[in-house]
Amino acid sequence: MKINLFWFRRDLRLEDNTALYNALRSGLPVLPLFIFDTNITAELPHDDARIGLIYDTLTSINKELSFMGSSVLVKKGDPASVWNELTTALEINSVFLNKDYEPYAIQRDNSIEKILKSKGISMFRFKDQVIAEEREILKDDGTPYTIFTPYSKKWRQQVEKNFRPLPDLRTEEKGNFFRCSYLFPSLEEIGFKKSKVKARDYDLSVISSYDRFRDLPAEDKTSYLSPHFRFGTVSPRKITMLAAKENQVFLGELIWREFFMQILFNFPKVVTENFKPRYDNIQWRNNEAEFERWCKGDTGYPLVDAGMRQLNDTGYMHNRVRMVTAGFLVKHLLIDWRWGEAYFAGKLLDYELSSNNGNWQWAAGTGCDAAPYFRIFNPASQMQKFDSKSEYVRRWIPDLDLPGYSEAIVDHTFARNRAITTYKEALK
């Protein structure tokens, strides 16, 4: 029989899911599909926590679908090969999916659309993971914004009151899942094993007080929503509506996410290059031994070390501490931001190319709307300001007061002067 396929990617939920909603209203039975893309997974460790989050979420979705007499079809491989196989094995009428805006994903989806088109199968793409996508918020001359504040202002003017979650599906539409019972693979069959690191449940109760506590890592009053945004286990529309109602500062953080996503789409060179070419001549020191100490949380600067140890142990790092650790690597140690970006990419549960890249280039001063090169955080004064009782630091460095704790890897004043001199030379 003819069926439609819905392709899960960064939208791992059944509710308020735009492409799935439209697929279920299309009139044909809908088979949900997920592909563990080996072009991505081949580069990951076998205990990658993000794969664990995806797998656990798919397991829950599959259980919910079983009550409707359906299931998720889980595949592993190169997407082009998987789709060639599926179009031979199934009578597919159309494929529904939500857009992804990263360079690899765009190339992949375009190639899959060509395969489908050659076989007479339509592909329908929908906006879902953002409120405003890549070219919806533009300057008056039609060019993309590269400065956050005017982008945010126009976002609020154009978007804030004009989006809503999708209406509920009718009972008969909810019943349009394809009747099937595919064998759900084990994590080991996919080529992975359970990680000791696990994503935390998100907490929406902290949104209303986010502006008061967001810079205090010891309070631990962050929402932990970011991995769930990354993999779409929550509805961006519902969370954004809640933020708009309860806390404008939190809403601003969600707008930053969309700002960086449109930067990546409109300026894909940022993946490997400085957004501002004038910084291309920075003479990075790139000392491998010092980089290793930074990675381990062994720099002798407690706030930096606590942040890195939190990242290594949990896959998270408090946002204020992320700014301090990133700034320390690029300014104090003069290590290329791309090194730090790659390390965070391998560790962060909420890793998202656009935000990770945007924030690292912000810290380095090389990105759009970045911090000026002479803005150099003093990790000691940052600790005094935001963790004055050392509660956060001691949580992650129990040996802080013991003789074995490291001496500072570099003197702050010396490092600051060296960084300013190096940047000035590069900008001549």
Task: Give the model confidence (pLDDT) of 169-208 as tens digits.
Answer: 888 888 999 999 999 999 999 999 999 999 999 999 999 9
Average pLDDT for 273-302: 97
Active site amino acids: 253, 256, 284, 319, 337, 360
The pLDDT of residue 256? 97
- Of 197-201, 269-273, 300-304, 371-375, the poorest mean pLDDT is in 371-375
Helices (H), 247-352: 248-266, 288-296, 302-314, 319-327, 337-347
> Cβ distance 317 to 325 under 8 Å?
yes
Which residues lie across from 33 on neighbouring strands? 7, 73
CATH code at 130-164+204-266: 1.25.40.80
N-to-C CA span, the chain: 68
The pLDDT of residue 94? 98
Cβ contacts of residue 299 below 8 Å, gap of 6+?
293, 305, 308, 328, 406, 408, 409
Helical axes 319-327 vs 302-314, angle rounded to 10°: 120
pLDDT over 90 for what percent of the chain?
A: 93
Q: Which is the CATH superfamily of the domain at 1-128?
A: HUPs (3.40.50.620)
> Cβ distance 137 to 109 under 8 Å?
no
pLDDT above 90 for 82:
yes
So where are the chain's domains? 1-128, 130-164+204-266, 277-426
DSSP letter for 279, please.
G
Pick the CATH number of 277-426 from 1.10.10.10, 1.20.1260.10, 1.10.3470.10, 1.10.579.10: 1.10.579.10
Assign 428 a pLDDT band (cuts: 50, 70, 90).
Answer: confident
> Cβ distance 393 to 304 under 8 Å?
no
Task: Give the model confidence (pLDDT) of 126-171 as tens digits.
Answer: 999 999 999 999 999 999 999 999 999 999 999 877 778 898 888 8
For 251, list phi and psi in degrees, rounded to 5. Answer: -60, -40
Q: Which two tokens stand for residue 115?
A: 């395969």
DSSP letter for 25, please.
T
Task: Give the model confidence (pLDDT) of 305-341 as tens digits.
Answer: 999 999 999 999 999 999 999 999 999 999 999 999 9
Reported for 42-46, long-range contacts at CB under 8 A and 24+ positions apart, including other chains, are 44/192, 46/191, 46/192, 46/193
Radius of gyration of the chain measured on its C-alpha atoms: 23
Q: What is the mean pLDDT of the chain?
A: 96
Q: Which two tokens stand for residue 340?
A: 């730090």
CA distance 428 to 407: 35
DSSP letter for 328, please.
I
The pLDDT of residue 170? 85
Query: What are the angstrom distances between the C-alpha of 208 and each of 40, 212, 221?
Result: 37, 9, 11
Only one residue has tokens 């606590």, namely: 306
